[in-house]
Chains A and B, each alone.
Chain A
Amino acid sequence: MKNILLIDFGSTYTKVTAVDAEAGQLLGTADSYTTIETDVGEGLENALKKLEKQTGVISYDARYACSSAAGGLRMVTSGLVPELTAEAARQASLGAGAKVLKVFSFQLTEDDLDEILSIKPDIFLLCGGTDGGNTECILHNAKMLASVPFDFPVILAGNRTAARECERILAGHEVYVVENVMPKFGVLNIEPARLKIREIFLNRIIQAKGLSKAAELLSGILMPTPSAVMRATRLLAQGCEGETGIGDLICVDVGGATTDIYSMADGMPRTATTVYKGLPEPYDKRTVEGDIGMRYSVKGIVEAAGLPRICQLSGLEEKQVSALLEELSSHPDMIPAPGSDLEKLDYALASMAIETAVKRHAGTIEETYTLMGLTYIQSGKDLRNVKQVIVTGGSLIRTAHTQDIASHALMNRLSPMSLMPLEADIRVDRKYILAAMGLLSEYYPQTALRIMKKELVYDGHSEQKNS
């Protein structure tokens, strides 16, 4: 027996998962409200008591945790050209599990500095210029930052020619130099920045977030929660020694305030008549839609999908929908009763949240006629051949219509230019174990993978929708 406790300190719930790593068994899961104001240990104790009712008293050999409590890992980034180094900086931060509050491009202004100071990020990622390329912008931005009082760590991941000078300009601050996020034009190199972000998270952020009291009880708080989910999904797709993965996949996490999409697929053009444009995207890509969520960000869903589609999907009249939306905005903690209008509305909202978020995550394709005949221009990832969709998040795992809702992750006739999956098996994270398995995979990848293959329940196969 090797019992391991995995903890996810979420912004609302603290979730605990008990695993016997040697037997490769999931022992139980439970959750309770996060208590960040007093001591996160309280919420953890409550969750553990609930867990004990299922599993009996267990002595744990190790306890590992991830956290998105207290606002998660909040980052601000800057780069030079919006679609190039600024985008690379954003991708690096998202990939490290951060919440990216603002992406600046070109030269920082005094107004930008005011905004940065009011955001008070946990980490600032300063980029710009390819190696040997533009130095003016990153030097200017370092000088601008140095001109104001701040106390967050800065990661320099821009033109290496300017790195030392930027370091000198920012002397007296916590500054880390890593490889350029875009060393050559069109080459994405975000892993070094990701690793540094995680290192700073471990050393610095945990204390600042009042999680250190809990940390003393644990073998370690290892990473931000989205980073744990990223690891779990990557392992699930790629496999590990002794256990094969399930191949390319996308994972959809619809929360109350945001919707996260992860894709594990190469996504590059598959035919000679397709030309790729723009910055290549990582195999393991994460996007966060801050305006798409089931409770705090309902407005964003309605704006993106339009009221008529919400009405059509829910089967409710426009008046009913508006009244319910009004009610939701003042009572975001409403939970739908079975058969209620709110349940119907939630169905429509969740469907449109997925459609909107996956559409934004996936690449696009355009047809154009050239002298050589029909040619396609692709930008972003081509996910049409991805055949697995994993869904997680309360609104999806607590409904009976998971497959119907999840099928909105597939390509549909209304947006034929979006490179969303054509058909897929839907798997549901009913016990909410993805983050826990990401943590476990640090030490027991094979066990984590086996548990995921067993617990992520197959919920049917969906094909491209015609409506």
Chain B
Amino acid sequence: MKKKVLVIGVIGADVHAVGNRILYHAFTEAGFEVVNLGVMVSQEEYIAAAIESAADAIVVSSLYGQGELDCRGMREKCDEAGLKGIPLLVGGNIVIGKQKFEDVEQRFKAMGFDRAFPPNTPPETTIQALRELLHMEDEQE
């Protein structure tokens, strides 16, 4: 069976490379084909990579607190580029300050993200969410 393709990277002016490497290995280990864009990735780069590689989902990381600004408008750009309905996931320290994560999650969902994850989410949780979103549970592994 063809592997599911993920495009991953750290968005905006964010240079935190370690978590990105961990996710790359965890997703690859879990059987995904991973296109890793590294750090300081713009929305356009995720979209261009997703088009060429026919990606099944985009996983955005943000560690430096500016994630909400950086992610704004990404769903609309995906729609515009013909990636209508592609699952968008986001995680890390996606906002600054002590905010209730439920509120944060609501805001990201309103922006068109399918899932938003709080700090310290283990990779397994994201992998599980991806399996659900991509309907991999009902397929034979």
- Cα–Cα, bound, A182→B40 (Å): 22
Q: Contacting chain A: which of B49-57, B67-75, B99-107, B119-127?
A: B49-57
A134→B52 contact, CB < 8 A: yes
User: How far apart sit A80 and B2, CA to CA, in the bound complex (Å)?
Assistant: 21
Min Cβ gap A269→B in Å is 12
A-contact 0/1 string along B30-74, CB 8 Å cutoff: 000101011110000100110111110000000010000000000
A16 to chain B, nearest CB (A): 46
CA–CA, A369 and B48, complex, Å:
25
Among B33, B38, B52, which residue has its beta carbon within 8 angstroms of that of A81?
B52
A-B contact count (CB 8 A): 62
- Whether B88 is near chain A, meaning CB under 8 Å from some CB there, is no
Contacts of A128 in B (CB 8 A): 52
What DSSP secondary structure best describes chain A's contact surface? loop
Is A133 on the interface with B (CB-CB < 8 A)?
Answer: yes
Contact A182 B54 (CB under 8 A): no
Whether A134 and B39, one on each chain, are in contact in the complex, defined by CB atoms closer than 8 angstroms, is no
A368 nearest CB neighbor, chain B only:
B13
Cβ of B15 under 8 Å from chain A = yes
Chain A's interface size range is 20 to 34
B50 smallest CB distance to A (angstroms): 9
Which of A182, A375, A377 interacts with B52 by CB under 8 Å? A182
Contact B48 A81 (CB under 8 A): yes
For the complex, give the distance between the alpha carbons of A84 and B52 in Å.
8
| Residue among B5, B14, B54 making CB contact with A135, cutoff 8 Å | B54
Chain B residues within 8 Å of chain A by Cβ, number? 20
A120 CB within 8 Å of chain B: no
- Please pick, from B13, B37, B49, B51, the residue contacting A370 in the complex, using a CB distance under 8 A: B13
The 0/1 profile, CB within 8 Å of B marked 1, for residues 353-385 of chain A is: 000000000000000111110010100000000
Interface positions, chain A 101-134, Cβ under 8 Å from B, are 128-130, 132-134
CA distance A186 to B49 in the complex (A): 9
A185 at the interface (CB under 8 A from B): yes
Task: Give the contacting residue for B15; candidates A83, A133, A184, A275; CB below 8 A.
Answer: A275
B51 close to A375 (CB less than 8 A): no
Q: Please, what's the 1-or-0 string for A183-196, where 1 marks a CB less than 8 Å from any CB in chain B?
A: 01110000000000
Which residue from A80, A84, A134, A375 sits with its C-beta under 8 Å from B40?
A375
Contact of B48 among A83, A275, A371 (CB under 8 A): A83
Task: Please report the C-alpha to C-alpha distance between residue A132 and residue B55 in the assembled complex, in whole angstroms.
Answer: 10
For B47, the closest partner residue in chain A by CB is: A81
A175 to chain B, nearest CB (A): 22
The reply on A277 being an interface residue by CB < 8 A is yes
Q: Is A85 an interface residue (CB 8 A)?
A: yes
User: In the complex, what distance in Å separates the CA atom of A370 from the CA atom of B64?
Assistant: 9
Which one of B14, B38, B52, B53 has the greatest number of beta carbons of chain A within 10 Å?
B52
Q: Contact mask A73-96 → B, CB, 8 Å, 1/0?
A: 000000011011100000000000
Nearest Cβ distance between residue A423 and chain B, in whole angstroms?
30
**Quick check: A370 and B14 within 8 Å, CB to CB?**
yes
Report the Cα distance A326→B2, complex, angstroms.
62
Contact B64 A371 (CB under 8 A): yes
- Chain A residue with minimal CB distance to B66? A371
Q: Is the CB of B39 within 8 A of A81?
A: no
Select from chain A the residue with minimum beta-carbon distance to B34. A185
Chain A residue at smallest Cβ distance from B13: A370
CB contacts (< 8 Å) of A85 on chain B: these are: 52
B40, B49, B52: the one contacting A275 at CB < 8 Å is B40
CA gap between A235 and B110 in the complex, in Å: 58
Tell me the minimal C-beta distance from B18 to chain A in angstroms. 12
Bound-complex Cα distance A275 to B38 (A): 9
Q: Considering residues A80, A128, A277, A370, which has the most beta carbons from chain B within 10 angstroms of its beta carbon? A: A370
Q: List 23 A-B contacts (CB under 8 A).
A: A80-B51, A81-B48, A81-B51, A81-B52, A85-B52, A129-B52, A132-B2, A132-B5, A132-B33, A132-B54, A133-B5, A133-B54, A134-B52, A134-B54, A182-B52, A275-B15, A275-B38, A370-B40, A370-B64, A371-B14, A371-B64, A375-B13, A375-B40
12 further contact pairs, Cβ within 8 A, besides A133-B52, A136-B54: A80-B51, A80-B52, A85-B52, A132-B5, A132-B53, A132-B54, A133-B53, A134-B54, A186-B49, A275-B38, A369-B13, A375-B13
